[in-house]
Amino acid sequence: MNKQLIEGQEKSFISSNPQQKKQKSRSMGEQVNSYPNKLPQTNLAPKSTILNTNTNKDKKVKITFLGGVGEIGKNMTAFEYGNEIIIVDCGMTFPDNDLPGIDVVIPDISYLIANKHKVKAIILTHGHEDHIGSLPFVLNEIKATIYGSRLTLALVENKMKEFSKVKYKAIAVKPKNLLKIGNFSIEFIKVNHSIAGALAVCINTPAGNIIHTGDFKIDFAPIDGSITDITRFGELGKKGVSLLMCESTNVCRKGYSMSESNVGKVLEEVAFKQHPTKRLIIATFASNIHRLQQILNLSQKYKRKVAFTGRSMINVSEVAMKVGELTYDKKNIIDVEKISKYADSELVIISTGSQGEPMSALTRMASDNFKNIKIGENDTIVLSASPIPGNEKNVYNVINRLYKKGAEVIYDELADVHVSGHACQEEIKAIHALTKPKFFVPIHGEYRHMKVHKELAMKLGMEERHIIIPDIGMQLELTPNNLKKTGFTKAGMRLVDGMTLGDTESNVLNDRKQLSEDGFCVVILTISGTTSELVSEPFVITRGVVYNYEADVIVRELKSNLSVFIKSYDFKEMELSLLKNEIRKFVSNFIYKRTKRRPITLAMVMMV
Amino acid sequence: MNKQLIEGQEKSFISSNPQQKKQKSRSMGEQVNSYPNKLPQTNLAPKSTILNTNTNKDKKVKITFLGGVGEIGKNMTAFEYGNEIIIVDCGMTFPDNDLPGIDVVIPDISYLIANKHKVKAIILTHGHEDHIGSLPFVLNEIKATIYGSRLTLALVENKMKEFSKVKYKAIAVKPKNLLKIGNFSIEFIKVNHSIAGALAVCINTPAGNIIHTGDFKIDFAPIDGSITDITRFGELGKKGVSLLMCESTNVCRKGYSMSESNVGKVLEEVAFKQHPTKRLIIATFASNIHRLQQILNLSQKYKRKVAFTGRSMINVSEVAMKVGELTYDKKNIIDVEKISKYADSELVIISTGSQGEPMSALTRMASDNFKNIKIGENDTIVLSASPIPGNEKNVYNVINRLYKKGAEVIYDELADVHVSGHACQEEIKAIHALTKPKFFVPIHGEYRHMKVHKELAMKLGMEERHIIIPDIGMQLELTPNNLKKTGFTKAGMRLVDGMTLGDTESNVLNDRKQLSEDGFCVVILTISGTTSELVSEPFVITRGVVYNYEADVIVRELKSNLSVFIKSYDFKEMELSLLKNEIRKFVSNFIYKRTKRRPITLAMVMMV
């Protein structure tokens, strides 16, 4: 299959895979090819188009949770009817500290691989890594056409550049578009989120309508002028929603999330107005296109040139510009290498590093390790982001270093320079109230979030038996009158470690943990086969165990004790493996007694 | 010197060290021995008692910052006049992730060791680890009498049990006590904090009064009925405060901190009232005595028995009871082993683990790994604490697991079940306004906190040149008319790693980091000295590098490639070390090419 990203509706798409072609002509309605405006704006595909001779009882939609439940990250859910599977989202997550050396974590898709002939489509709600990040791996294993907004697909394209061997087909969709895939028809619904081009989906199935919100908030003053389509949610609610699957990230927060436009006002006040003579450096998430748009607008208003720094910031801003999500006068953008031609008061630098990422632009600036920017007293730096849990120490380290260089630093503790992209309780309640679902499944959250979300739904009047808290691998069955748990399939984490996949069954990760605490020690003894005595001095190597100042003494002592040990030991009758083990224990105990450290210890014996 | 903890004023103390005896009789006023109530309640030692024939210019007090500035943790400051040094606090800190395998971090006290003959006293403001935790190490190196509140000293005693070789002398003090040590006289001032027995100090020196707040908040409804002595701060302000050293932990938070008593009200509502039939499990910091007191009071009110669980909870509650900071009817306390004799509705379990610490009682309960308590649907669990930055993931893991067991879980995101022990902006402003210091030095905070604190002081009218932001190792000189920076002395971190001290100069920590990411690989080749050929198959050991499923193939390939490499290599003329290095590089590159991992690689060559 050719890699083919449809960037606009005018492009046709080519498939070199006959199977795929067949599938396409069989399963995709005209609608998608002719979007955006020729479609009926609000109608789902009429039920009569769904060829289904089953009785109600046989109208079973199977839902398989492959990620994003019981965790924040690697969102992935499969919807299955007969011989058709459509997947919503395909995310990755970053490893916790208990997975040392692991690069990223992706969903275990054994279930999809076993049913790969059924998989028809991957629908992406938006372009964040926890919704698209597994694509390079998943597309290596299953074939499916990708659907998402233009920005989402442009970010996918950008990501797939590094995996040029993986071929795929992608089709851009817009809010109100209707997509027919076999017995499913999918309607896309505009939602606000901390990335542009975010979509919820309503999946019309033989068992009823399923709404999957993706990640969303309700922003009544959005930057792109277009609010979460609560009217459509309400209309669908009137028609009848069988199952609501709603995200839960911020369900513990009372009230409403603040509007993104509020951040612009605060940035104007605390940065542009209050620091007219300073150079402004604003760090934020590259994917927060509306944040970038506001900074660009303010820069124009205050007659400052803008330079983007950091690889992802440069990439994403270009991508967003290409698809029209970011608009600005190009003559106001300058290359970061040219900032020296401008006065500080004429500059805004938009940078990566709002999470204190070690190699990011802002972190390197803070460490005097960034070619074109040297931080000083004439800099006002805004971290327009909140630290993601786990990143606090890195973020505050960067802030402290910037302060020490004399810069002014403004961050979320000091001013409202960031808002969340996720709905708080009142917004979540609105979606429940509008869609009036028969059944409810909280998604995208740790267990605690889904639990609170369940309680929220019950407070709104839903019966407990109509709510299921999902878990990874759980499978549900939706029929027109019922939603029930049917069991579990193999699912969970796959660990990407360099070029191959890691696992938790091997000792690798436990070894790494022990090594990170206490290092390792290798002892090699050469013993005469005839006299059973040491032929030469024991050979000892340690790494990560003893500090320089103590190494000489400890190693010397170990060697001499080992010699004594060997002499005293009657090992002539002993098997070599047993002897090795005795030596290993001796060395390990010696080191522990001297240092209270327990390095991984290996003993080797050469018989000569 | 004998270890001797004075638990009440009635006890006398014995010193077997004549030097110390001499010092005692020379430097300690009668006041301390006869406290608490015979002292003038508010007067400092009259200036006339200070024998000082220096001119104003020579009245120099040197202040050395050994910890707690530019960081949260390991608080330690030395005040020096002539041949006398008094130390305020002696804390430790926990290592960041970039110090793998390090147990705790303590201050580098090279300066004190070099001046150990001058050191007279260590004054402890309160009993938190970041104020007392280095004592076992520091007292091994310098001799000094310890002063602190009874609870503080009881916690010190408890801590020192594990270091029985370290002898020390401790003297309990109370608010309003006056302590004369050579040219210093020290007044203790009651402050509210998240531990009972917290004290600020006013150090009267020949160069003027120095107020060191310790950690504090202003709680107008404290549990012990005794508020931060703002009157005394005001009186000292009227008399004249030369230098204020004020903590900065919460200086970024606007407004006031909530009263500790508020937590009691919330706990009563969300736990005791709303869950009358449930077993209540409340996790909090063991040292938060007033929190424990409130839970005990509520338990009594609602006729529930209390069981303490977790080693530190049992220890600290006993210690606090012994010194009278915790009062309750003993017949309401039961052993955790006996809880099965009571109905769930008759029980409150007070537990450690509010930070999700892996081995704590609550974490073990959440993992079904706690002998006497099995969590179920009839449990309501309160985490009466906020996650300390860095602990979030552990805390939320525990919460999720408790929820999954069917328990009700209440934590800070859901209800106000915790308050901070540190002053917010308005409280900090109050201290500045009351003490009206000539000079100001923010302490106990990261640089960002101290920077914001400096700006706060300037907003209150202080001139910038009267404020110095300290750094670790910085030395200041206070004279009656001036405060200035005089330079830096050696100071910083000492890393406790098992039984010895680590350092960052050795490669140990970097090696551990690399090992934790990619493991290690050892290759041993036995080569014939005559033919220069491999005598046997190469020997390869890896740990933390390759997963079981890939190990066979990769190791086999490596071995055969190594054999080819050796054959093709002309090393007869080569030095052994050079050959080893070539082999090491070959192996490292092979592994990287196959896995994208870079283990620490060692090559050994045996010539036979």
- Domain termination residue (choose one: A355, A386, A410): A410
Cα atoms in the Cβ-side hemisphere of radius 13 Å centred on B439: 23
Q: What is the CATH number of the domain that holds A600?
A: 3.10.20.580
Q: Looking at the predicted structure, is the pLDDT value of residue A456 above 90?
A: yes
pLDDT of residue A577: 82
One domain, residues B240 and B279: no
Query: Among A298-312, A562-576, B211-225, whose mean pLDDT is lowest?
Result: A562-576
Cβ count within 10 A of residue B481? 12
- B51 in reach of chain A (CB within 8 A): no
DSSP state of A528: -
pLDDT at A578 > cutoff 80: yes
Q: In angstroms, what is the C-alpha Rg of chain A?
A: 29
Asked whether residue A53 is domain-assigned, the answer is no
Q: Same domain for A379 and A493?
A: no
**B109-128 per-position pLDDT tens digit:** 999 999 999 999 999 999 99
Q: Is residue A469 located within the same domain as residue A342?
A: no
What pLDDT score was predicted for residue B96? 86
- Which pLDDT score is estimated for A204? 98
Q: Which residues of B touch A535 (CB under 8 A)?
A: none
> Looking at residue A135, what is its pLDDT?
97
Tell me the pLDDT band of B162, cut-offs 50, 70 and 90: confident
Q: Report the share of chain A in percent with pLDDT over 90.
A: 80
Point out the least confidently predicted range of A572-581, B309-318, B429-438: A572-581
Rounded to 5 degrees, φ, ψ at B63 are -115, 125
Output the pLDDT for position B315.
94
3-state secondary structure labels for all residues of B169-207? EEEECCCCCEEEECCEEEEEEECECCCCCCEEEEEEECC
Give the model's pLDDT for residue A55: 66
* pLDDT number for residue B551: 92
At residue B32, does pLDDT exceed 70?
no
- Contact B596/A498, CB-based, under 8 Å? yes
Q: What share of chain A is helix, strand, coil (3-state, %, to 5)?
A: 35, 25, 40
Same domain for A248 and A139?
yes
A459 touches chain B (CB under 8 A): no
Question: How many CB atoms neighbour CB A325 within 10 A?
Answer: 23
Mean pLDDT across chain A:
89
B121 and B223 co-located in one domain:
yes
CB contact under 8 A, A393 and B389: yes
Contacts of B114 by beta carbon, 8 Å cutoff, 6+ apart: none
The SS3 of residue A137 is helix
The pair of structure tokens assigned to A213 is 């919100």
Q: Nearest residue on chain A to B508, judged by CA atoms?
A: A544
Radius of gyration of chain B, Cα coordinates, nearest whole angstrom: 29
The CATH number assigned to the domain holding A186 equals: 3.60.15.10
Question: Do B249 and B266 reside in the same domain of the chain?
Answer: no
Tell whether B333 and B385 lie within a shared domain.
yes
In a domain, residue B309? The reply is yes
Extended strands (E) in A91-234: 104-107, 119-123, 145-148, 169-172, 178-181, 184-190, 199-205, 208-212
Rounded distance, CA B464 to CA A443, Å?
53
Residue A8 has pLDDT above 70, yes or no: no
The one-letter amino acid at B13: F
What is each CA distance from B315 to B269, B309, B319, B322, B361, in whole angstroms?
28, 10, 6, 11, 14
**Cα B498–B499–B503 angle (5° rounding)?**
75
Residue B557 sits at the chain A interface (C-beta within 8 Å) = no
Sequence-distant (≥ 6) Cβ neighbours of residue B455 within 8 angstroms: none
Confidence of residue A97 (pLDDT cuts 50, 70, 90): confident
Task: Give the pLDDT score at A129.
Answer: 96
Q: Going by C-beta distance under 8 Å and a sequence separation of 6 or more, which residues neighbour residue B436?
A: B237, B241
- Is the pLDDT assigned to residue B36 strictly greater than 80? no
**pLDDT value of position A565:** 86
Can you give the CATH number for the domain in which A364 is found? 3.40.50.10710
Question: Is 70 exceeded by the pLDDT of residue A220?
Answer: yes
pLDDT at B194 over 90: yes
Q: How much is the pLDDT for B569?
A: 72
Q: Are residues A84 and A232 in the same domain?
A: yes
Question: Are B299 and B426 contained in the same domain?
Answer: no
Nearest to B508 among A448, A508, A544 (CB): A544
Range of the domain at A376: 260-410
Q: CA angle at residue A477 from A474 to A483, to 5 degrees?
A: 105
Q: Do B403 and A448 touch (CB under 8 A)?
A: yes
Percentage with pLDDT > 90 across chain B? 80
**Residue A86 confidence (pLDDT):** 98
- pLDDT tens per residue, range B537-590: 899 999 999 999 999 999 999 999 998 888 877 766 777 888 889 999 999 999
Residue B31 covered by a domain: no
Select from A352, A376, A410 the last residue of a domain.
A410
Q: Using H for helix, E for strand and C for coil, what is the string for B335-347?
A: CHHHHHHCCHHHE
Query: Which chain B residue has the Cα nearest residue A409?
Result: B448
- In this predicted structure, what is the pLDDT of residue A465? 97
- On the question of pLDDT at A23 being above 60, the answer is no
- Structural domains counted in chain A: 3
At which of B381, B410, B439 does a domain end? Answer: B410
Confidence check on the interface: ipTM exceeds 0.90, yes or no: no
Tokens of A542: 């340690």
Q: Does some domain include residue B34?
A: no
Residue B48: band (very low, low, confident or very high) from pLDDT cuts 50, 70, 90: very low
Listing from the earlier edge strand, what are the strands of the sheet with B184-190?
Answer: B178-181, B184-190, B199-205, B208-212, B243-247, B439-443
* Same domain flag for B88 and B216: yes
Chain A residues touching residue B522 (CB < 8 angstroms): 522, 541, 602
What's residue A21's pLDDT?
Answer: 37
Q: Which pair of tokens denotes residue B355?
A: 């930070």
- Quote the distance between the C-alpha of residue A88 and its chain's center: 14
Are A93 and A73 in contact by the 8 Å Cβ rule? The answer is: yes
Q: Is B409 an interface residue toward A (CB < 8 Å)?
A: yes
Position A49 confidence tier, pLDDT thresholds 50, 70, 90: very low
Please give the average per-residue pLDDT across B426-448, as a whole number.
Answer: 98
Q: What is the pLDDT of residue A45?
A: 41
User: A496: pLDDT confidence band, cut at 50, 70 and 90?
Assistant: very high
Q: Which residues contact A489 (CB under 8 A, 6 or more apart)?
A: A64, A110, A111, A473, A475
* Structural domain contains residue B513: no
Compute the Cα dihedral for A417, A422, A426, A431 and give only its sign.
positive
Single-letter residue type at A388: I
* B39 within domain boundaries: no
Per-residue pLDDT tens over the stretch B71-112: 999 999 999 999 999 999 999 999 988 899 999 999 999 999
pTM of the model: 0.87
Q: Given its phi and psi angles, is residue A583 left (phi above 0), alpha (psi -120 to 50 degrees) or beta?
A: alpha
- The DSSP code sequence of B560-572 is HHHHHHHHH---T
Q: Are residues B16 and B110 both part of a single domain?
A: yes
Please list the residues that pair with B496 across neighbouring strands: B104, B501
Residues A318-370: tens digit of each pLDDT = 999 999 999 988 899 999 999 999 999 999 999 999 999 999 999 999 999 99
CA separation for the pair B250, A393 (Å, rounded): 16
Cβ contact B520–A543 (<8 Å):
yes
Identify the pLDDT of residue B568.
Answer: 78
B474 with B279: CB under 8 angstroms? no
Evaluate whether A551 touches B554 at the Cβ level (below 8 Å).
no
Shared domain check, A541 and A450: no
Provide the pLDDT for residue A571: 67
pLDDT of residue B571: 67
Q: In the structure, what pLDDT confidence band is assigned to residue B300 with cuts at 50, 70 and 90?
A: very high
Q: Does A337 touch chain B if contact means CB atoms closer than 8 Å?
A: no
Backbone angles phi, psi at A594, to 5 degrees: -80, -30
Instruction: Answer with the residue of higher pLDDT: B250 or A40.
Output: B250
Taking each helix axis as running N to C, give the angle between helix B260-267 and helix B289-301, from 0 to 180 degrees, rounded to the nearest 10: 30
Question: Is B289 in contact with B326 (CB distance < 8 Å)?
Answer: yes
Sort out which chain A residues have CB atoms less than 8 A from B600's CB and list them: 543
The answer to whether residue B403 neighbours chain A at the CB level (below 8 Å) is yes
Q: How far apart are CA B74 and CA B67, in angstroms?
A: 5
Interface probe with A: pick from B99, B547, B554, most Cβ of A within 10 Å? B547
The residues with which B380 forms a beta bridge, in sequence order, are B280, B408
Angle B180-B186-B190 (CA atoms, 0-180°, nearest 5)? Answer: 135
Q: What pLDDT is stored for residue B485 in this prediction? A: 98
Residue A221, SS3?
coil
Which one is predicted more confidently, B347 or B605?
Answer: B347
The single-letter code of the amino acid at A29 is G
Please give the interface size between A and B, counted as residue pairs whose CB atoms are below 8 Å apart.
179
B577 touches chain A (CB under 8 A): no
Model confidence pLDDT, tens digit, residues A129-162:
999 999 999 999 999 999 999 999 999 999 999 8
- pLDDT reading at B330 higher than 70: yes
Q: Is residue A34 part of a domain?
A: no
Query: Given a cut of 80, is residue A434 above it in pLDDT?
Result: yes
Report phi then psi at A218, rounded to 5.
-115, 110
pLDDT at residue B54, rounded to an integer:
53
Q: For chain B, what percentages of helix, strand and coil (3-state, to nearest 5) are there?
A: 35, 25, 40
How many angstroms separate the first and last alpha carbons of chain A?
60
A28 is a domain residue: no
Give the pLDDT mean for A77-87: 97
Interface of B with A in 415-454 (CB under 8 A): 446-448, 451-452
